Structure 1
């Protein structure tokens, strides 16, 4: 995988014997072989049409993604492969900690679902509530997810 230092993008479509697999946390019911694409309703915020789709290289960040996703469906974590370039998620990069410690990224290109993690340990109800309360407080202050 090649990282372009000038714009913090990774070219994941370069020829290599193995593809980097990432995680995507959601409440959507997907099947292996499905593609997650921009233009669908976002998992977060105002439920607008997504301009970007998000993925992470850490299971911990994917768990939060599944737990915080909008909707009433079952929390799911999929293994996905990007079909094009990805870039650092500006909502998490260089915010509370320098760099991208959660290894969270976004893309305008589809992600192919290649598997599902079916056994994982989520956060306690209290932790999820505290995180949701914190996000609601940020929203009240006019601080919302960067989608540009």
Structure 2
């Protein structure tokens, strides 16, 4: 098996595993919905953040899967994945800086917080795929 195929196959396999994990976690969240809805407010808030985080993971999995399908050779896949991941990481860092500098919650704090958790989910997937690529590049 050549390097290109092994990177492509390894990333594809990793994405399937990540997708299964994300689907399972969403399913567990939905199973426990009734407990959360009748529980304390902080459990409801945590559930919302968990959903944003998992939606971010799903969004990244879909985007990387599309890159895999559109760029089957090693060089173009890695180039397009790097471009995609750099944009998400830059957006995540801007969001993190915004939080650090936030002295008090703004009117759109809920949307800002949800977006930040979505980016955190995307970053987790990106970091995992970066590791997969690095492990198969040597």
TM-score between both structures, scaled by the size of structure 1: 0.23
Q: Is the helix fraction higher in 1 or 2?
A: 2
Query: Which structure is higher in RCO with an 8 Å CA cutoff and minimum separation 6?
Result: 2
